[in-house]
């Protein structure tokens, strides 16, 4: 399980929020993330490590490049923490049961 407090702490830093925002629409390399920012590439790498530790960012190797992107597990954990474990689970169940009921009515 991913810790929601850890996620909030990771996003509590303005530079990390900026980095996280830059990954929202597509994956990027460290170089691309650092472009136009006032922080060095090693500093960006450090921030990425924290975001990764919180489950917000994941890395994939494409050839020799390492590309960073949003990890949806962190987003999911944050939502669960907001809703409460059983609220979120029941909402997911409700959607599935109603989908199934609608499907069976059509038969």
Partner 1 sequence: MNEQRWGGDVNSVRKAISLNAPQDVAWRVFTEKIGTWWPLASYKIGKVNAVAAVIEPRVGGRWYERGEDGSTCDWGSVLAWEPPSRLLLSWDINADWQYDPALKTELEIRFIAEGKHLTRVELEHRKLDRYGTRRDEMREIFDKTGDWGRLLSLFARLAEGAST
Site of interaction with partner 1 (CB under 8 A) = 1-2, 4, 8, 11-12, 14, 17-18, 20-21, 24, 72-73, 76-98, 100-101, 104-105
Query: Nearer Cβ to partner 1, position 22 or 64?
Result: 22
**What is the rounded CA–CA span in Å between residue 51 and residue 21?**
12
**Min separation Cβ 37 and partner 1, Å:** 12
**What is the rounded CA–CA span in Å between residue 16 and residue 22?**
10
**Min separation Cβ 35 and partner 1, Å:** 15
**106 exposure class (CB count in 10 Å sphere: 0-12, 13-18, 19+):** exposed
Q: Any idea which residue has 């850890």 for tokens? A: 6
**Min separation Cβ 100 and partner 1, Å:** 5
């Amino acid at each position: 399980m991913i810790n929601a407090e850890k996620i909030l702490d990771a996003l509590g830093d303005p530079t990390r929020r900026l980095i996280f925002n830059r990954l929202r629409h597509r994956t990027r390399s460290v170089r691309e993330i650092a472009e136009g920012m006032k922080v060095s590439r090693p500093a960006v790498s450090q921030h990425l490590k924290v975001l990764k530790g919180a489950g917000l960012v994941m890395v994939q190797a494409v050839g020799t490049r390492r590309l960073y992107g949003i990890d949806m597990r962190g987003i999911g954990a944050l939502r669960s923490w907001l809703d409460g474990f059983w609220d979120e689970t029941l909402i997911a169940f409700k959607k599935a049961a109603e989908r199934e009921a609608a499907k069976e009515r059509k038969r």
